[in-house]
Structure 1
Amino acid sequence: MKPPPYQSPLAGARVRAERKSGIGRTAKRVIRQKSWHERIASIPSTVLFELALFPHNVPLPPPDTTARLLGGALHIIHFSVRLSQMRAVPEEELSWEDLYDESRGSRWFDWKTPLTIFLISVSLINTLNFFTRIKLYNLHLRNDPVSSPNAAFISTELDFSPLEPPPLTMRFLTWLSDTFSSSWRFLLNFKPPPPPRSAKTHRVQQLSVWIPGELERKLFTLYSPVHSFLWIATNWSNWILMLSIMAITSAQLHLLTDKYEALVKDKQIIAEEVMHEYDVRFVNPRINPIRKDAAVMTHESEVVNIYE
Structure 2
Amino acid sequence: MSHHDEEMPSTEIITLTRHILADQMRLGPAATGDMTFLLNAIALTSKFIATNVRRARLINLVGLAGETNVQGEEQKKLDVLSNDIMVNALRASGKTAVLVSEELDEAVIVEGRQKGKYCVVFDPLDGSSNIDAGVNIGTIFGIYRIQDGSEGTIQDVLRPGSEMVAAGYTMYGSSANLVISTGNGVNGYTLDTALGEFILTHPNIQIPARGKIYSFNEGNSMYFHEPTLKYLESIKYPQNGKSPYSARYIGSMVADVHRTLLYGGIFGYPDDKKSKSGKLRLLYEAFPMAYLTEQAGGLATTGRGRILEVVPKTIHERCPVFLGSKDDVADLIKFYEAEAGKHPVRMSSHSTPRRSVLAGPSRTPRPSIGISASSSSSTSSPSALGPSLPFDWDAARGLKPPPYGYATPNQGSRLRQSVGGSSARKSMGVGRTGGALSPLKRIPLVRSVSWIERLQNWPSQISFQLSLFPHNVPLPHPRTSARIVAATLNTVHLVVRYSQVRQLRDDELGWEDMVSETNALSLPGLSWADLDLKLTLLNFACVMASLANAAYLASRTREYTHFYTRDPLPTQHARFVPAEEIFKRDDDEGEPAIARRLARVAWKLVRATWRWLSGAEGPAPIQAMVDGRVIQKVDMWMPEEFEKTLFALYSPVHAVLWLFWSPQNWLGVLIALGLLSAQLSILMKAYDALVKDTRILGASVLQEYDEKYVQPRINVVKRDAIVQTHEAEMIDWRPNARKRYSQFESVPL
TM-score category of the 2 structures, normalised to the smaller one: 0.7 to 0.9
TM-score normalised by the chain length of structure 2: 0.32
1:63 corresponds to: 478
State yes or no: 1:175 paired with 2:601: yes
From 531, 549, 556, the counterpart of 1:126: 549
| Conservation of the 8 A alpha-carbon contact between 1:137 and 1:207 | yes
State yes or no: 1:139 paired with 2:562: yes
State yes or no: 1:24 paired with 2:421: yes
Task: Provide, for residues 256-292 of structure 1, a one-character-per-residue CA deviation record: whole Å limited to 9, x for no partner.
Answer: 1211221222222222221222122222222345689
State yes or no: 1:192 paired with 2:619: yes
1:43 corresponds to: 458
1:249 corresponds to: 676
Distance 2:654 2:640 in 1: 20
* Other structure's SS at 1:120 match: helix
1:278 corresponds to: 705
TM-score normalised by the chain length of structure 1: 0.73
* Other structure's SS at 1:141 match: coil
Q: Which sits farther off after the overlay, 153-162 or 75-84? A: 153-162
Distance 1:77 1:186, change over 3 A: closer
Distance 2:629 2:717 in 1: 46
Displacement of 1:177 in angstroms is 2.7
Displacement of 1:151 in angstroms is 1.8
* Other structure's SS at 1:258 match: helix
Distance 2:599 2:497 in 1: 37
State yes or no: 1:263 paired with 2:678: no
Displacement of 1:129 in angstroms is 1.8
| Conservation of the 8 A alpha-carbon contact between 2:555 and 2:637 | yes
Query: Percent identity among equivalent residues?
Result: 36
Displacement of 1:244 in angstroms is 0.8
| Conservation of the 8 A alpha-carbon contact between 2:543 and 2:652 | yes
| Conservation of the 8 A alpha-carbon contact between 2:398 and 2:416 | no
Displacement of 1:17 in angstroms is 8.2
Distance 1:106 1:48 in 2: 50
* Other structure's SS at 1:264 match: helix
Q: Which sits farther off after the overlay, 279-288 or 229-238? A: 279-288
Task: Provide, for residues 10-52 of structure 1, a one-character-per-residue CA deviation record: whole Å limited to 9, x for no partner.
Answer: 89949x8874325333566276654423423443443343233
From 55, 76, 100, the counterpart of 2:491: 76
Distance 1:251 1:161 in 2: 45
From 493, 508, 533, the counterpart of 1:110: 533
Q: Which sits farther off after the overlay, 31-40 or 64-73? A: 31-40
1:102 corresponds to: none
| Conservation of the 8 A alpha-carbon contact between 1:18 and 1:24 | no
* Other structure's SS at 2:567 match: coil
Displacement of 1:181 in angstroms is 2.7
Distance 1:158 1:119 in 2: 40
Displacement of 1:83 in angstroms is 1.8
Distance 1:46 1:288, change over 3 A: closer
Letter paired with 2:502: R
Letter paired with 1:52: S
Q: Which sits farther off after the overlay, 160-169 or 83-92? A: 160-169
2:120 corresponds to: none
Distance 2:646 2:680 in 1: 11
Distance 1:247 1:281 in 2: 50
From 186, 193, 209, the counterpart of 2:636: 209
Displacement of 1:95 in angstroms is 5.4
Distance 1:24 1:194 in 2: 77
Structure with higher RCO (Cα < 8 A, 6+ apart): 1
* Other structure's SS at 1:55 match: coil
| Conservation of the 8 A alpha-carbon contact between 2:485 and 2:646 | yes
Distance 1:13 1:87, change over 3 A: farther
* Other structure's SS at 1:59 match: coil
Which is strand-richer, 1 or 2? Answer: 2
Letter paired with 1:151: A
Displacement of 1:249 in angstroms is 0.9
Q: Which sits farther off after the overlay, 167-176 or 122-131? A: 167-176
Query: Which 5+ residue runs of structure 2 have no aligned equivalent?
Result: 1-373, 376-393, 401-412, 430-444, 512-527, 623-627, 720-749
Which is helix-richer, 1 or 2? Answer: 1
Task: Provide, for residues 189-245 of structure 1, a one-character-per-residue CA deviation record: whole Å limited to 9, x for no partner.
Answer: 6241689xxxxx953222212211111101110111111221122111111111111
Q: CA RMSD in A?
A: 3.7
Give the aligned length.
272
Letter paired with 2:598: F
Letter paired with 1:173: A
